[in-house]
Amino acid sequence: MNFDELKTCTRCDSDACYKQEVSKDISLELCYGCGFQHNSIMVKDSDFYKEQMEILPEIYKVLMDEDEEEKIWMPTSINVKDKGMVFASGQNRENWNWGAVKAVLIPEEDREKYKDEKYRADMSTIKYFKERDFMDALSYIGMLPE
């Protein structure tokens, strides 16, 4: 039953929302317009929701939204080893951005310090993007063409 579809985001009305049916009971939506995601098992008061509320960073909890269809949307985190990371960063709903950090190749002689990883996030490359500039943040780390 797995299928993918591009649809309109029920959170921000962007036409760049990617929906994936994982099974007949589980679907995922990732909006490239606003950078938020919805998971069909993320239902208020469910065990999964409660677990997420215990482990998510505070800014992610603060930024969670519920749309008219009662879908819970939360910011996405992207981490691609050889590209970099995009994540929500900020203090509150009024003062936040997408943080984007590029990955750099670790020299052979330093890899032991990084548990033999080949890449690491280079925080000196951090750049901030407004909510609706999520795709620009992905382009900055090389996930999308510029």
Please report the pLDDT score of residue 146 as a whole number.
Answer: 75
The CB-based long-range contact list for 52-56 (8 Å cut-off, 24+ gap) reads none
Please report the pLDDT score of residue 24 as a whole number.
Answer: 85
Please report the pLDDT score of residue 137 as a whole number.
Answer: 97
DSSP 144: S
pLDDT in tens, the chain (146 residues): 456 889 999 999 999 999 999 888 899 999 999 999 999 998 888 898 899 999 999 999 999 998 888 889 999 999 999 999 999 999 999 999 999 999 999 998 888 888 878 999 999 999 999 989 999 999 999 998 87
Q: Which residues contact 87 (CB under 8 A, 6 or more apart)?
A: 75, 77, 78, 79, 98, 99
